[in-house]
Structure formats: structure tokens, C-alpha cells
A and B are shown apart, each in its own frame.
Chain A
């Protein structure tokens, strides 16, 4: 009897240990696209899309990310689905994709390169992705980047929910903050048939959606420098534009200034301002490049007393 109870005890210890050790190995794996969305009602959904018959690089990625389970720790709290992408699929492969994705449903949009990780919400909207070659070079790098996106996703969702519940005083501002988180948000979350779905658009957020960089540069063409400066500053002061849009506004102004022969100091100030809005963005890199190409030589010329162009 004593021996039997000892055995039971050990068996329970073993089972508990095995269960807990195995916990991380159990993600919420989905079997199909529909299954993923069903399970993803309150969780983010992550797709690992890879070329199943495209090249050896994709095969290696599948091996590392999936077969060796190196990605798993980074997606344990997500709904996870592997999505093979076939080129020139035969009938068998077509059937496999149909079973996986559902009938008449295309592969997820937004794929620029394989392999990639797609972050979707519970409605199947693409919110972010890890596709850059450097980010996808190994499971750990990709996983860390994915975790960053998941954190951003959490933050964005919280802000969107807050915005939904908020009063007219804060709603627009909260929505702007949510949109400023650098993930895509489906327009259905903030638009209705009549435009922005807000009780009151206190900060003129609707202007953000009318912003057209191409029209903007055309409008500035016929303005004097003073007019252009005032025009852009008014827009920025509005407070409704995203970081990227503000950078675009400054890009338009700096381009206008450059073509109208403004001083190196002026240009440098504009480019610095543009860069500092979001130092990690592509427009920050643009600003730095512009300083190298147009400001430094101009400063040199001005120092030498030469005519600036």
C-alpha cells in the first residue's frame, strides 16, 4: 500500500513536470485559416508564410523556424499557422492550399518576400509583418522583431479600445495615438459611411486622411518661400498629422527651399527637424542623405564666399 502510494506520487510528479516543461511547446496552433481566426478572437494571429518549392533558402528557413521549433517560444501566446506557398502548384498542392485557406480565398495580402511572418488580428486584417531580409535571417532575430510588433499591437489595441469608450473630449486624440503606433489599422475600426467614426473631431483628425504628398508639392510650387513656410507650419501646428506625414510636409518644404536657393543653415535646420520627428524612419535617412548631398557642399561654398546655387 505504502509502495503503491509512493508510485502514484512519483507518477504525479513526473506528469506535472512533463506538462509544465511541455507548456512552451504548446502554442495555439491552428489547422486552417478559418480555424486561426476562430481561435484568434482575443489573441493576435501569426502566419509563417514560406516558399514550399521555390528555393533552398526557403526550405532552410522552414527547417530552422518550424522543424527545429526555434520560432515557437516567440509565438506561444499567439494563434499560429504555417502557410506554404507553392509556385506552379499541381492539383495536389492546390487542394492543400484550398483546404488550408478555404475556397476562393487568396493568400494573405501584403507579402513582399518569402519567408515572412504576418501579424493579423482576429478578423484577418494584416496589422504588421516581418519580411525584411535582415530581420528574417534567423528565428531569433525574427522572433524578437515579432515580439516588438506584438507589443505594439497590444498597445495599439488598448488605445483603440480606449478611444471607442472615450468621451468626445479625448476620443480623437486617443485615436490619433493609436494610428501613430506603426502598425496598420483596418479602416473599419475608425471609419463609417460618413467619415471618421468619432463623436467629435476635436483635433481635425480627418485632415490626416486627405493628405496627399503629390498635391502638396504641386501647391507649393507657385508659392513664395514665405508663403510655403507659413502654409506648412500651419499644417504641422494643426496637430492632426502622423509622424510620417509631418516628415512629408517638411520634405516638401525643404525641397521647395532647396530649389529656391535657400541658405545651407536653413536647409540643415529643416532636415534636422524632419529627421528628429522619427529618427529611425526612412525619411530620417532621407534627411541625412540630403544633408550630405546638398547642405555640406553648400556650407563649404558659403564659407568660401562662393555663390550658392
Chain B
């Protein structure tokens, strides 16, 4: 028995030993006895052909045989190794190393809306076609909507039939590669083919035409050829593999649809040449619809934005290889062409593909996570060495180590709003998710599309100018409009095709049919901005004084786009419709009725607050005299003051208008008085429930801010008093005890100006600025710099005995405060005074100097930097003294001071 027991024990020991040496323990032992060397971080690539995780950044497929175009100086081609940073160094890296620019405005300027006339072909006219259709009745609209619905459903069915199958859509290989060497012949053939199918090009023929995929492909081909032109097309066909690309591209309806109907189609000749290059280099992969989408969108955006072939190749290589490696977010697979253009065509604000690669690999988050990705950076104006974020030195020492991946460098060192927002936006873009930066006043924010909804990141203000929009206007409403337009994909496609037909028929001098097509496009898809622009442009070209048609267009915009997209509709009306339409509507009442029809649609701001000034100014542009202007302002106020969202804005607008009137015009003062009465009577009519009080407070806050901005002391004071009467509880009660000076408080009826850029939360409380000048006190955030501070314009020139400034908490700034005075707002002096700052009270005793002043300003020595210094509010600012009686104490200095 004992031997059996021994055997048993031996067996257990043997099992333990086997288990010990089992494969699972070995790695741990190895790890313990030979600690791994820490992997070196990737070093900067010294040549362009270094591979970053499967992406080969080199000039693939390009040969010396075919110089495509003059290459721009692509500084991204070389990586800075020992280059001195800054303007004299590597331009690309120098400029992006300073990721933020102190003087840059983050706001993207709107592009001018240019209306191009259709160039007609030299062909005989058809008399029956030479008429502009009469304004339509309701049955016409219903008819069009019915046709459109049928066609859309047909397209839906076609798509549904293909789902789950690997086959591509419709193809037609009837134009062989060699034929592309004579593109003029192809264009002629296509034109004849299409025109013969359209026949008289009446409504029925047009809708029937669009049912057939063969016809739609022909239309897309012809549209492309007309945009490129036969000469340029010949050059493209002459490129190596040019005819192959043209054959493959133009045989595929999906590819052509994506190319022609996904947004702007400028410089299509350059885009095609880029596509030839890509096709040559990636031919084997061009059967994949996603690769085609990447190629087409990259080519189009780089052509449109003039970024050059070299950069285009690198951008394509990045998205292509990332897609192949499965490193793009899955949402990329579902993108359409238009939103892929936002991705592949993003700007170079934040470095190049090296930074993109780093973000792709090191900032991989669910799509919702990118909104918060900006928080991965520390907000830092100065880096640890004291270099400013606006200088090239800020990131320079790390650029080599990070391989010029600017995102990585910023994450290690920090940045301010520009770097933070770009980090968030570009992290999303690196994964194929639509995103873009957004300018705000003195600030950079960003937006990412999460699902189908654009979410704002790092945003402070209501004014946004998204960077990557199609129609030259950079505002939030346009982003949402663009999104909603293309979400309804087939409806928009039908509309775009109708526009293409309209362009063709217009060129063929078939005016009536062209108008039919444009109108049908606008009815089918009321959100189609390009369609409305095309229609308005043609109407302006062919019949600019046709009141009926302009009225009809006006109605279409009001009943269509304006329902939800107030800003976009207002812009369309201001820039496109009113300039011609108002010329043929001289009657004031009729105009006001038109304007009112638009305002009726605007109960709230819609998708986002917007600046109504442009609309109101364009409406008032038709007024030829002050009477008319006054009448218009009265009407506008009457309607908009009743809408809580618009009341403050229209008030501010009115004050701006008054302030801009010439002071030497005798009617100006009358207009000023009447406008002030208008405001007062409008405000007096408001009730005093809590909800109304909040709305009144906000309205008056904006108005008083505008009055201060316009140097309008009288309105400033009047609104302040009104606010105190209506919203007394909003004002604090000053409990400070301090020693006063002799004389009266001459600042009580003055005007307080501040440097602060107010956030949306602060704007409604601007009446508290007026309160700062009153005994009961108010509140205004303190902000000063070495040039300017908190300034009061006194009601009249006065002798100053002393100044008392009260803060909401103890002032503990490093640098001393002082008072500067001026009698004209331009020439300043610093009179001798005894300054004393104790806790939250600052007293400036001018007993010895007794300066004369119309302007009194609190300033700080040196540069006041709120990041370091105290964050305080000013709650009281009292100038003691005695007014100096002069024959005329006019506000003449205020006009000079206005910028």
C-alpha cells in the first residue's frame, strides 16, 4: 500500500512539473528574465519613401514622361531635420508648428455669389421656345411633385434590388477607349442622342427621359464633357491610361453620378487628370466602389482647391491604404460622395498626412468620442519654455521626434483653441468621419458628424463659420441644409439632373424648356441651393423685369427653404432675389407684405441663431428716403419685436442703422428720437411675467451693448433706465462702503465701454454694465491689455476730483492700476494722482491735478493677462467732479472715435 501511495504522490509531482513547463508559463518566464527593451518611438522619416504603417508616402505611379502640371512647392515632401523653424525654414512645418496665429481670424470669409450667364450655342432658335412661362398655378406644382415622387420611387426600387449583391449598378460600355481620342465627336453624338430622345422637351418627355439609366448616364457624360470642353478632354485622353480611365469612368452610372452630382464641379479638367494618375497607379483596385469614391472625391476637391497633384496623391494614398487596412471607422463605408469630399478634401490647417497617420493610430475613438477629443490637449498659451503658441518656437524642438506629426507635438506640449479644435476635428477626419473646424469670434471651434447629426465641439459663441461648405457661405444653417439636402439622396439627384438638363436646354436656346426644368428642379427639391441659384441666374439673364416670375421664385423660397432654414433662405433672398425683384416692386406696402411673408416663417432662429442684419439691410436698400426707411423700420420692429429670438437682434440692428446715419443731416436726429420712442413703446407694451421679464432683459441687454458699441450714450442711458424700471430685481444692491470724493458723480449718465467679447450667456446681462455707473451697482467682467482698459465716456466735459472703482473681490493683480483721461477720446494723458488699492476698492485722488476729461479710462501697467491675473468683475465705477459748462457740449468726438 505504501508503495502505491508513493507512486501516487510521484504522479502528482510529475503533473506539477509538466504544468510548470507548459507553454503557458514560458512567456512569463522569458518576460521576467529578459525584460523587453522599450520600443523606440518612430523617428522622423528622412526620405519620402518611409512607410508609415502600410501607407507608402512616395510618388507612386508618376513618371517623367508625363508632367501633369507645374508642381507647387510641396514642402511636405521633405521632413525637417535640422531646419531652423520659422518662416525661413520648412514652410509647411514652420507654419503649422505655429498652429495658432495671434492675428488670424478663425472666421472663414464668405465667397461672393457669382451668377454666371449661360453661354448659348450657335444654333438656330425655335420660336416656340422663346418665351418665359407664366407664373404657375397650384396644379402645376402638384403635377411636378407627382412626377418627382414616381421617379424617386423608381430609383429607390433600383437601389433596393441591388442591396446585398456584389454587382455594381448600371454600366454601358458603348463608348470605347479609343473613341475618347476624339472627344468632340463623342460630345456631338451624345448631344444628338439626348436631344432626339427629348424631342420637344416638354414635361412628359423630360420625366420620361430621366427614368432610363441609359439616358441618365448619357446626361452625366455630356454634362462632364460640357464642363471640361473638347480640347481639355483631348489632353486628358492623351495621357497615359487616359482613355482607359475615361472609358471605365463614363461606362459606370454610379461613378458618374457621384462625380457629377455631389457638389461643386469646378475645374473638372484638372480633376479628371488627377483621376487618370490615380487610375494608373491603382488600377487593380479601381473595381471597388469605395476606392472609386475616394479617388473621385480626392481628385475633385484637390482640383477645386488648387492644392496640387503631389498632395493629392498623398491624400489618396492615405485614405486608400487606411481603408484597405481596416483602420477607417466603419461609418466611412456608408458615406456618400458629398460627405466623402468633406473627408478626403479636408484642409491643411493641421499638418499633413504624417499627422493624420499618427492620429489615426493613436486617437481611435467611437464617433461620439471625437467631440471630446480636444480635451486631450492641455490649454496652454505659453509652453514650458515660455514660448508663445503663436510662435514657431512653441513646438519646434519636438517636431523631429514626432516626425512632424503636429497633432502628436501638440498633445505633448499643449495648445490653445485652434490646436485643441483642430486636434478633435482632424482625429475624426483621420478615421474617415466628416468633421471640420468652425470659426467663432476670436475663437476656433469644430464640429463632427455623429450619425446624421452635426455636433459642436469646443464652441463658445453662436456665430459659427464651418470651414468646408460647398456654396461659398460659411454659416451653421448652411451645414445643416447641406446635410439634409443630401440625406434625401434620390430627391436631390432628380433635382440635380433636372438642373443639368436645364443647363443643356438653355445652352441650346430652348428657353421655355430650360425654365421648365429649373422650376421642376426647385419644386422637386426646395432645399437645392444650386438649383435655386441656377434658376435665379437664368431668370436674371433672360427676363430680369418679370415681376410674376420673381414673385413666384420668392414664394418658392419662402414656402420651401425658409420653413426651417431661415438663414439660408434669407441669404438667397438678399443676394439673389431682392437685387432684381425689388426694382420691379416700387410700392412700399407691397414690399412690406413680401417681407412679412418671410418673417412669418421665422418664429425661432431655426437651426441656429443667425445675423439678420444682411436681410434687413437688403430689404431696406429699396427705401429711397428717410420716410420710407422709417416706415420700414417700424414694420420690421413691429413684426420681429414680437418674436423672442429676434427682438434683441432687430433692436441692435436698428441702433446700428441710426448710428451710421450722417450726423450733419437734420433728419438724423429726428429719426434717432423716433426710433428710441419706438423701442420704448415696444418695450413698454411687454408684460411683466417672469418669462417675459427674462425676454425683456435679454432684448435690452443686446440693445444696450449695441448702443455702447456705437458710442450712443443717450440710448445707452435710456435703455439702462428702462431695464432698471422693468427688471429691477436683476440689478445688485451695492453694499460697499468707501470714502467718496467731492463733487457729483459725473459718470452716472455716461457710457461704459468694455473690451470683453461676450459669450451668449453674458450678452443678455449687458444692462448691468449701465448699472456699474449707478449707485446701486452693476457688473462687467474686467479685461484690459496694454493699450486699453475699461472706459467711460462722460455726458459732458468735466473737472475730475477723484475716481472710485469697485470690484466684486479683492484685486490682486501683479501690475498696478492707473487712470488715463482724455477730452477727445484720442489724446490721452495720465494726470498726477494718489492711487490706493485696498481689497476690492481702488481710489484715485486727483486733488492736486484736477484734470479736465470727457473720457476716463481704468488701465493696467504692462500687459494684463487674465490667464495669470485675477478674474474679477467691476461692480462700480464712479467719477467725481463737476461738469464744465460749455456753449455746445456736442458728441462730435464720438463720431471720430467710431471705427
- Seen from chain A, the residues whose Cβ lies within 8 Å of a Cβ on chain B are 5, 9, 12-13, 16-17, 19-21, 23-25, 51, 53-60, 72-74, 76, 85-88, 111-114, 131-135, 140-141, 143-145, 147-148, 213-215, 217-218, 220-221, 248, 251-252, 254-256, 258-259, 280, 282-283, 285-290, 292-293, 296-297
Q: A9-B11, A292-B400 are in contact. Are A51 and B386 (CB under 8 A)?
A: no
Question: Do B398 and A286 touch (CB < 8 A)?
Answer: yes
- Known pairs A87-B367, A252-B384, A285-B398; A293 contacts B84 (CB<8 A): yes
Interface pairs (22), CB distance under 8 Å: A9-B7, A9-B11, A20-B16, A20-B18, A21-B19, A57-B326, A57-B327, A57-B364, A145-B36, A215-B868, A217-B386, A220-B386, A251-B384, A255-B385, A256-B386, A285-B398, A285-B401, A287-B397, A289-B399, A292-B397, A292-B400, A297-B84
Contact present for B24 and A21 (CB under 8 Å): yes
Q: Determine the residue in chain B with the shortest Cβ distance to A85.
A: B366
Indicate if the CB atoms of B450 and A88 lie closer than 8 Å: yes
Contact code string B314-330 (vs A, CB < 8 Å = 1, else 0): 00000000000111111
Decide: A55 and B19 in contact? CB cutoff 8 A.
no
Asked if B15 and A213 make an inter-chain contact with CB atoms under 8 angstroms apart, the answer reads: no
Contacts of A248 in B (CB 8 A): 384
| Alpha-carbon distance A88/B325, docked complex (angstroms) | 23
In the complex, how many angstroms separate the beta carbon of B54 from the nearest chain A beta carbon?
11
Bits for B382-403, please: 1 = Cβ < 8 Å to A, else 0: 1111110000000011111100
Q: Quote the shortest CB–CB distance from B457 to chain A (angstroms).
A: 16
Residues of B within 8 A of A214 (CB): 380-382, 867-868
Q: Are A88 and B326 in contact (CB under 8 A)?
A: no
Contact A60 B326 (CB under 8 A): yes
B12 A13 Cβ-Cβ under 8 A? yes
Contact A53 B7 (CB under 8 A): no
Give bound CA distance, A134 to B43, whole Å.
12
Pick the contact of B85 from A60, A87, A218, A293 — CB < 8 Å? A293
Is the C-beta of B141 less than 8 angstroms from some C-beta in chain A? no
Complex Cα spacing A57 to B327, Å: 5
Establish whether residues B326 and A251, one from each chain, have CB atoms under 8 Å apart when the complex forms. Answer: no
- Residue in A5, A88, A143, A147 whose CB lies within 8 Å of B451: A88
Residues of chain B with a CB closer than 8 A to A76's CB: 28
Shortest distance in angstroms between A119's beta carbon and chain B's nearest beta carbon? 16
**Closest partner residue, chain B, to A220 (CB atom):** B386
Please determine whether A24 and B22 come into contact, CB atoms closer than 8 angstroms.
Answer: yes
Given contacts A220-B386, A251-B385, contact A296 B8 (CB under 8 A): no
Q: In whole angstroms, what is the CA distance A296 to B81 when docked?
A: 13
Expressed in whole angstroms, the Cα–Cα distance for A17 and B580 within the complex equals 93
B387: nearest chain-A partner, CB-CB = A255
Instruction: Flag if A17 contacts B18 (CB, 8 Å).
Output: yes
* B462 neighbours in A (Cβ, 8 Å): none
The answer on a CB contact under 8 Å between A290 and B397 is yes
C-alpha gap A153/B38 in the complex (Å): 18
> Could you say which of B31, B366, B380, B386 contacts A144, with CB atoms under 8 Å apart?
B31
Q: How big is chain B's contact interface, by range?
A: 35 or more
CB atoms of B27 and A133 under 8 A apart: no
The answer to whether B385 touches A254, judged by C-beta atoms less than 8 angstroms apart, is: yes
Q: B396: which A residues are within 8 A, CB to CB?
A: 289, 293
- Are A134 and B39 in touch, CB under 8 angstroms? yes
Is the pair A293, B384 in contact by a Cβ cutoff of 8 Å?
A: no
Closest chain A residue, CB of each to CB of B37: A144
Question: Looking across the interface, which residue of chain A has its beta carbon closest to that of B385?
Answer: A255
A sample of 11 more A-B contacts (CB under 8 A), given A13-B15, A252-B385, is A13-B11, A54-B365, A55-B328, A57-B364, A74-B28, A87-B368, A111-B365, A134-B42, A214-B868, A283-B384, A293-B396
- A113 & B397 in contact (Cβ 8 Å cutoff): no
Interface of A is mostly: helix
Nearest Cβ distance between residue B180 and chain A, in whole angstroms? Answer: 37
Please give, as numbers and ranges, the residues of chain A lying within 8 Å of B173 by CB-CB distance: none
The answer to whether A23 and B326 have CB atoms under 8 Å apart is: no
Chain A residue contacts of B399, Cβ below 8 A: 289
Within the assembled complex, what's the spacing in Å between the Cα atoms of A285 and B412? Answer: 11
Asked whether B365 lies within 8 Å of A114 as measured between CB atoms, the reply is: yes
Cα–Cα distance between A128 and B435 once the two chains are bound (Å): 31
B431 within 8 A of A: yes
A-side contacts of B4, CB under 8 Å: 5, 9
Q: How far is the CB of B101 from chain A (nearest CB, A)?
A: 20
The 5 closest A-B pairs by CB, nearest first: A20-B19, A56-B326, A255-B385, A289-B397, A87-B366
- Tell me if A13 and B14 are in contact (CB < 8 A): yes
Closest residue of B by beta carbon distance from A59: B326
Q: Which of B8, B84, B382, B400 contacts A9 (CB 8 A)?
A: B8
Query: Do B386 and A73 have beta carbons less than 8 Å apart?
Result: no
A220, B363: Cα distance in complex, Å? 35
CA distance A248 to B16 in the complex (A): 53
A133 contacts which chain B residues (CB < 8 A)? 361-362
Rounded to whole angstroms, the CA-CA distance of A73 and B28 in the bound complex is: 7
Closest to B412 in A: A282
Residues of A within 8 A of B451 (CB): 88
In the complex, the answer to whether A16 meets B15 with C-beta atoms within 8 Å is: yes
The docked-state distance in angstroms from the alpha carbon of A23 to that of B7 is 23
Report whether B15 and A221 are in contact in the complex, using a CB–CB cutoff of 8 Å: no
Chain B residues, Cβ within 8 Å of A131 = 362
Contact in complex: A21, B384 (CB < 8 Å): no
Instruction: Give the contacts of B317-359 with A (CB-CB under 8 A).
Output: 325-331
B326: which of A20, A55, A111, A283 is its contact (CB, 8 Å)?
A55
- Closest residue on chain A to residue B402 by CB atoms: A285
- The answer to whether B382 touches A218, judged by C-beta atoms less than 8 angstroms apart, is yes
The answer to whether B400 and A289 touch across the interface, beta carbons within 8 angstroms, is yes
A113 contact set on B, CB distance < 8 A: 361-365
Which of B15, B327, B329 has the most chain A CB atoms inside 10 A of its CB? B15
Contacts of B327 in A (CB 8 A): 55-57
Contact B31 A147 (CB under 8 A): yes
User: CB-nearest residue of chain A relative to B328?
Assistant: A55
- For A14, give the chain B residue with the smallest CB separation: B15
Residues of A within 8 A of B176 (CB): none
Q: Does the CB pair A54–B329 fall under 8 Å?
A: yes
CB atoms of B364 and A54 under 8 A apart = yes
Binary CB contact string for chain B from 861 to 877 against chain A (1 if under 8 A, 0 otherwise): 00001011000000000
Q: Quote the shortest CB–CB distance from B847 to chain A (angstroms).
A: 32
Known A113-B362, A259-B386, A292-B400; contact A135-B39, beta-carbon cutoff 8 A = yes
- Selected from B16, B41, B82, B398, the residue in CB contact (under 8 A) with A16 is B16
Contact yes or no, A293 B867, CB < 8 A:
no
Residues of B within 8 A of A297 (CB): 84
* Chain A residues closer than 8 Å to B387, beta-carbon distance: 255
Q: List B1-59 residues whose CB lies under 8 Å from chain A.
A: 4, 7-8, 11-12, 14-16, 18-20, 22, 24-25, 27-28, 31, 35-36, 38-39, 41-42
Contact B366 A217 (CB under 8 A): no
How many Å lie between the Cα of A21 and that of B397 in the bound state?
Answer: 52
Contact present for B384 and A55 (CB under 8 Å) = no
Are A55 and B330 neighbours in the complex by a CB distance under 8 Å?
Answer: yes
Q: In the docked arrangement, what's the CA distance between A286 and B387, Å?
A: 13
**Is the CB–CB distance between B24 and A221 below 8 Å?**
no
Q: Identify the interface centre among A54, A147, A285: most chain B CB within 10 Å of its CB.
A: A54
Instruction: Say yes or no: is B376 at the interface (Cβ < 8 Å to chain A).
Output: yes
Does B381 contact A54, Cβ atoms closer than 8 Å?
Answer: no
